[in-house]
Amino acid sequence: MNTSWKTVGIRMALIAAMIAMGASCASTHVEPLPGVPPGATAKDELGSIGSGAYVVLNSPNNEIVLPNGKRWTGRVRGIRDLMLVRDNTITPATEVPEAMQSSYQVMVDFQRNGIKYSFFDVKEGGVYPRK
């Protein structure tokens, strides 16, 4: 094995940092990811849609994980869902009550090849490709 001293030094520094942070190389204990709601799993590839909510990019269904850890599961991936997310509630865009304010809401558009989201209060958003 032809390994440079620089590579060995980097590996040793990483191991030392892991030990200093209390990590164990043989440990099977899995810590929750910081900032990810309790409803998410280690297998989920998440995309933040703001306010502590996430879309699950690699799910076979359209899914949202809310800040309180609850999961919303929609239709099968590839079938479009259009949802409004506010705090810990999800409402289909077709069932929005008139009294509901549009500020501080996120519109999530599950499409075949990607997931688009936009914030009503700042008129910005983004797109995540499906995994």
Which pLDDT value is given to residue 82? 92
Domain ranges of the chain: 46-129
Q: What is the pLDDT along the chain (131 residues), one digit of tens a residue?
A: 444 544 444 444 444 444 444 333 333 333 344 555 667 776 788 898 988 889 999 999 999 999 888 999 999 999 999 998 988 888 888 877 676 666 658 989 999 999 999 987 777 899 999 88
C-alpha distances in Å from residue 68, one per residue of 45, 86, 89, 113 = 18, 12, 10, 28
Which pLDDT value is given to residue 30? 33
The β-bridge partners of 126 are 117
